Each structure stands twice: as structure tokens, then as C-alpha cells.
Amino acid sequence: MERLFVAAAFHGSKYCWMDGEVVETKEALVSAMEPIHLGIFEGIKAYAEGDVLGRGRLNIFQWKPHVDRLWRSAAICGLKIPYTKNDLLEATRKTSNANGFETNIYIQPRIWPKAEAPEDVHVVIPAWTFETILGEENPRFSRQRRFIISSWRLIASDALPPQSKTWANYANSALAMREAARLHYDGAIFLDNRGFISEGTGACIMMARREKIITPPVSASILESVTRETLLRILPEDLGIPVEVRDVTRMELYASDEAFLCGTGWEITPITSVDDIPLGEEYPGSITKGVAKYYAEVLAGKVEKHTKLLTSVP
Ligand code: PMP
């Protein structure tokens, strides 16, 4: 069988963990005949302690909910992971150490059935560095971002499982992003199959209206986002911002004062306009800025009561 080089998407990561050992990424080879449609993955980030824009000791944010979701994704797709959750934490540490990472990393465990033994799976953990948009005075945060409502609906949960990070789901996001790019916009928001606001492409959406944060429920075909769950807890408790989880119409998004995407990849990303309708009068809005500032402090381990959300990499 032909061998395929799978390192293309690893963004400079020299080593990854594959099926039990750390290997050079260019040696992480699989057959071109692998059954990829039932592959699952997880997206996790580790940030520099003290300052999310800094270097030094790294901490994984919310390891447990991420790895629990990986196990749920596997169960939904009928895949059995032949390791413990702790094995994968150790594997992640080994990968990071082998690469000598000293600044923020994105960790993406990938699991899919083996071509030659579909009841068995490959488990690969690549990790690579990324540039955060968070952090004091980071100019990337306040860049203008014009979004559209996608003409693609979010996959309905009776067609594909939106609550599982199954690669097949991400064709949905890719189509919406391509549509936005083709129309010269920066991003897309999905409606669910009932016509209510669902989520962004790989991120949940929160909007601020009359000093409250409103976000769609899990039943709007969203992924149960670790970031969203974290914010739903800390916004009211720590920042005194009331939150409402309920269906949101497209009109209400247009009428919001502020909106932002939240997720591991997108972090807290402010949205300037939707379908060319500007959201609110100030950009980024004061609630979005306050949430992003506090969230960056939590990620950097500066908020004592939330340091338990962090797991050290070394
Ligand atoms: N929705 C989808 C479809 C996603 O892929 C992600 C990224 N995992 C999110 C929302 C945000 O989830 P999280 O905060 O757990 O990264």
C-alpha cells in the first residue's frame, strides 16, 4: 500500500506522539487507504504562565473537559481508545518536551480507525505553536472582522453529531468559510436547521445586549464548547455579567450591542458586523474587551481561584 506523508498540517512541529511513542513528524506515516471519514480529534491549548503573550512554563487549559470530550466523541463514533486519559496527558507532555516548546501551543489529538484493522485505531498527538490574539495591547485583537450569516445551515444532530468533534462535521465549517472568503468577508455564522443562530465555524457565539450575555443552547446544534462552559460560569460569578442561554434569532444578533466568538482556536474574537450591519457603537465593545482581558488572566494562571483549570506541561 502507498504511504502518505501526514506532516503537512503540523505547522513546524518536529516531533509528535504516534501510537505509543514520540516520533519525528516526518516519520508519522500512514497508509493512503486509511478510512478517514470516522476520524475524531480534540483541540486544546497550553499558554505561557504569567502572560499569555510570554515565554516559559506552559499550562494546558481545561485538560479534563477536553479529554472527556475526546472520549465522548470516540464513543459516539464507536471507536475505542486503547489508552488511559492519563496516558494521553503524558504523551502530550512528551511531545511538547521533545519539541522544546517555550511558548503557547495548540495540541490536537487525532484518532481514526486503522485501514488494516478497523476495530483498532491510530492515536496521534501533534502540537504546534500559535499566536494568540489575547493579551494586553495585542493589536490583533481589535482588527475589524466582518461576518455573514452563512447560506449553509449547521449540520442537524439527526444527520451528523455536532456534539462530537468528528472530522466529517468540519466540511460544514469549511464550506461556510469558503463562502465568506469568496464574498470577501472575514467569517461566517451558522443558523441551525430551525433558523435560529447556532455558532461560528469552530467557535461558539456570544452576544451582549442590554448589559447581558446571550448565547444559543446546546440544542441549537452547537458543540458543547469548553470555552463557552467556562465563560458561562465565570462571567456571572467573577465579572457580575448576567448570562442567558436561549434561542437567538438572526434579527436579535443584528440588534446586539456586541458579539464575539469563543473557542479554543478563536479564543475571544470580536465581531464588527454581521451582513454589513454594525454591532453597537464601539468596537471592540467594552464587555468583549473586559471578558477577553479577564479570560487572558485566567489562561495565564493569574487568577488564583482558577489555577485548578490549568495542568502544567513539563
Ligand atoms: N464549535 C465547534 C464546531 C468547534 O469545533 C469548536 C472548537 N472546539 C467550538 C465550537 C469551541 O469549542 P471549545 O471552546 O471547546 O474549543
Which atom of ligand 1 is closest in space to residue 62's alpha carbon?
Answer: 15
Q: Which of 93, 118, 107 is nearest to 36 (CA)?
A: 118
User: Using CA positions, which residue lies closest to atom 6 of ligand 1?
Assistant: 202
The label of the residue with cell 463562502 reads 179
Q: Identify the pLDDT of residue 135.
A: 93
pLDDT digits (tens, 9 = 90+) for 8-59: 445 568 999 999 999 999 999 888 888 888 899 999 999 999 999 999 999 9
Q: Calculate ∠ Cα 245-246-251, nearest 5°.
A: 125
- Host H or E run for residue 252: helix 250-254
User: If you search the block for the grid coordinates 469552530, which residue do you land on?
Assistant: 202
Ligand 1 atom 5, closest CA: 202
Residue 11: the pLDDT is: 59
Chain centroid to CA 217: how far? 17
pLDDT in the model for residue 2: 36
**Ligand 1, CB within 6 Å, residue ranges:** 43, 199, 202-204, 223, 225-228, 263-265
Q: How far apart are CA 235 and CA 229, in angstroms?
A: 10
- pLDDT of res. 235: 98
What residue has cell string 486503547?
82
pLDDT of amino acid 12: 61
Which long-range contacts does 80-89 make (Cβ < 8 Å, 24+ apart)? 80/119, 80/121, 81/111, 81/121, 81/123, 82/120, 82/121, 82/123, 83/123, 88/123, 88/125, 89/60, 89/63, 89/311
Ligand 1 centroid to 116 CA: how many Å?
31
**Which residue has a Cα nearest atom 9 of ligand 1?**
203
DSSP β-ladder status, 146-149 and 187-191: parallel
Q: Which atom of ligand 1 is nearest to the CA of 229?
A: 14
pLDDT, tens digit, 9 for 90 and up, residues 107-127: 999 999 998 887 899 999 999
Mutational pocket test of ligand 1: of 222, 223, 234, 266, the residue with most ligand atoms within 8 Å of the beta carbon? 223
Sign of the torsion formed by the C-alpha atoms of 286, 291, 292 and 297: positive
Among 233, 264, 269, which residue has the most ligand 1 atoms within 8 Å of its CB, making it the best to mutate? 264
Whether the bond into 284 is cis, omega within 30 of 0: yes
At residue 213, the pLDDT reads 98
- 3-state per-residue secondary structure call for 74-133: HHHCCCCCCCCHHHHHHHHHHHHHHHCCCECEEECCEEEECCCCCCCEEEEECEEECCCC
Alpha carbon of 99 to ligand 1 centroid (Å): 26
What's the gap in Å between 224 CA and the centre of ligand 1?
7
b/e code 82-93 from CB counts within 10 Å (16+ = b): eeeeeebbebbb
pLDDT in tens, the chain (314 residues): 333 444 344 556 899 999 999 999 999 988 888 888 889 999 999 999 999 999 999 999 999 999 999 999 999 999 999 999 999 999 999 999 999 999 999 999 999 999 888 789 999 999 999 999 999 889 999 999 999 999 999 999 999 999 999 999 999 999 999 999 999 999 999 999 999 999 999 999 999 999 999 999 999 999 999 999 999 999 999 999 999 999 999 999 999 999 999 999 999 999 999 999 999 999 999 999 999 999 999 999 999 999 999 999 98
Number of neighbours of residue 237 by Cβ within 10 angstroms: 10
Q: What is the pTM of this model?
A: 0.95
